[in-house]
Structure 1
Amino acid sequence: MTAGPGVRPMQLPTAREHPFDPPVPLRDLAAQGPLHPLGFPDGHIGWVTTSRDLARAVLADQRFSARQDLRHLPFEHSLGEDPAAPMLPGMFLRLDPPDHTRYRRLLTAHFTVRRLNGLTPRIQQIADECLDAMERAGSPADLVQHFALPIPSLVICELLGVPYADRSEFQGTTETMVRLGTSKEEFMAAMNHLYGYFRRLVAAKRADPGDDLLSALVTGGDLTDEELTGVGLVLLVAGHETTANMIALGTYALLRHPDQLAALRADPTLIDNAVEELLRYLSIIQFGAQRTALEDVELEGVTVRKGQTVVISIPMANRDPGQFDDPDTLDLTRSATGHVGFGHGVHQCLGQQLARVEMRVAYAALFRRFPGLRLAVPEEELAMRTDMAIYGVHRLPVAFEPA
């Protein structure tokens, strides 16, 4: 089977009937098999995979490329208007080995499990300070702005050496860059603004290095200022946008499932399980990852032709009934080991352990401080981030009693 004349590929569905579940047409498709033809907005015909095993296989297979200039996007976005645009130096997420390996090797020592677990006391302090400020502001409050966004933003700023006072320089521009309706002009303006900010920051670190990751890269490596700017930009954007949405959406999911929240309160040792299960169940990379075949590849009896892009549906892979019993149920007691919420292979998320620590601390601190936490508006009034590449909730108004 090949995707070509006579094949009627589906379009990637985006509408959700339930805030925590993948779109129904995609779920129906997954029941028919692991790989299906997919039509892309630019006219390209590629594939979408919905199984966990095939997702891992493609992500680990170096016959598939992550390069931006080769991929096609399965959703409308200004990035898709010029896929051949050159990749900025240092932006390693869209590079293949050996270029990707060179950057990744420089960063790995800064993201070890031991080192990031050592940040727990500081992350706890940040979470408590956010809750103090939220309590002072009074009930109701928007959990996104008061808690979910500040924690990972402040942590990544401190880790990189970015002044938190400059957060307005990157939070708004990041949101513009991941919004699906952003025009090419808006996207480029946001990118240029953020790139210019980091160029100035790199120059400042070179003149006066501090005790932070960016300074260590400036003084301890052979990266150019352009490469350092690209690396820093990737780490900053990836380091706060995804985790902020997991904290907010995970809170909403726990409030929506009071039995699971009660179980977590009754047994705080479930927190590690809870984090992994929420990562699996929510899968906020809603359009998945894209890989392009560098040669003809046989998958599940299907020929993926050289140049075709395969979309790895992270939400569907994490709901694979062949890997997870009753996958559409949130169950904090299950072991969700093997989910692909952080990807797989050489591009597996570098900061995954940092995200885990931040989520563990955030959920525990929030529900310990405000045991009566609840939604402050009807659920139908919540604006979900279906218009963003990173899924979540735009605002989460919550009510609570002072501690």
Structure 2
Amino acid sequence: MKRVALVGNLNNNFSAIMKWLRHEGYDAHLYYRAWPHFFHVKADTFDLHYLHYTHEVNWLQKGFRPADLNQDEIRNIFSAFDKIIAQGDEAAVLNYCGITIDIYFPYGTDISKYAHLPHHYSLWEKFRLLTRKKSGHTFRDVFAGTPSKYLYQAIKTAHYVFMDKSNPEFEETLHRIGIQGQFAYVPMPFIFYPEYEAEFKDPQPSVHWRSYVDRLRQENDLLILYHGRQYWKVLLNKFSGKNNDELIRGFARFMARKNPDTKVHLVMLDFGSDVGASKELIRELGIEQYVTWLPQMYRKDLMYLVSKIDIGSGEFGRSYLTFGTIIENMVMGKPVIHHRDDSLYQDSYPWLYPLINAQKADAIAERLLYYHNNMDEVVSMGKEAQRWVKEFFIEKPLEQIKNVLNK
């Protein structure tokens, strides 16, 4: 039996891959920093059995501090594994310890920002970085940049770098690193849906907010969910904007035109740097009574909410094919309203999942109005999207991962 170490757990990505690999017969273990608490394995499982194969590490409790890292101890842990899959700051730790990664999965800001920060950190360099006019860097960047030299090298020297097709700008940023291993368009199968399907068959599943979510469902004919960050006004970098203000504006225009007898609600999470700006926009548009805010929650609780809505939402800025929120919606059989430039992806797949394709507020309003009057198409679209996710986002990527692990 091959022993596989998964290192890092941003957004609980690797806890799901660990479950898939154990399901496939591998002795897979997860090593991760349980910070923030939403990245703890317990946030994405109903089964305590998996906790036997997860190991919290203390490498990064005070940030990336090489002097605090016991290289011999870390090397000894991973010498017992046949293959290593890693991402994020934990991958930087492995590189610092001289450990080469077999598969690296980019997650976003590791490529768009952290790996490209300056790699020199004398006191003078830090001072110069912060005081230089129009540098665009902050104290936060200096702390985040500390491991960037090792993250950069971890990605560059990995035997394989797997990532789904995204957009030209993001991919160009990745390839500036100068990947020495093999690069392939392979999505990261970051969701273990059998666990949700089994739990949600119970009439009273073990989730927070269940009674509140059930009441929302009972009281509305159409539920629309946006569970990503509120991120459209104050942006971290050029890739970070979600443009979810377009959804809010489009929803308001849709509400002004829909059948007044139909009860509709937009559900969002109180999460992201622009929550305040979004709430102010909602007040200005006069739609407060039609919007429900829920707290940021564990994925296992979130997936119950997703199972009860009608239409999920993606992003309305740059085109992306797959990412967390839309996959979470589609794997539960829910269609998404989202911006996608099909020309970027048609050559990569035999067919693309159906979606409600819109980017600006007017188009969003028009699409919502149409599908509000054609709910049978919404249900059909959700089923087809679910089929696409299971085949092209889970099954085929797992086969490609297994091909590497079995070498």
**Considering the TM-score relative to the shorter chain, is it more than 0.5?**
no
**More strand by proportion, 1 or 2?**
2
TM-score by length of 2: 0.25
TM-score by length of 1: 0.25
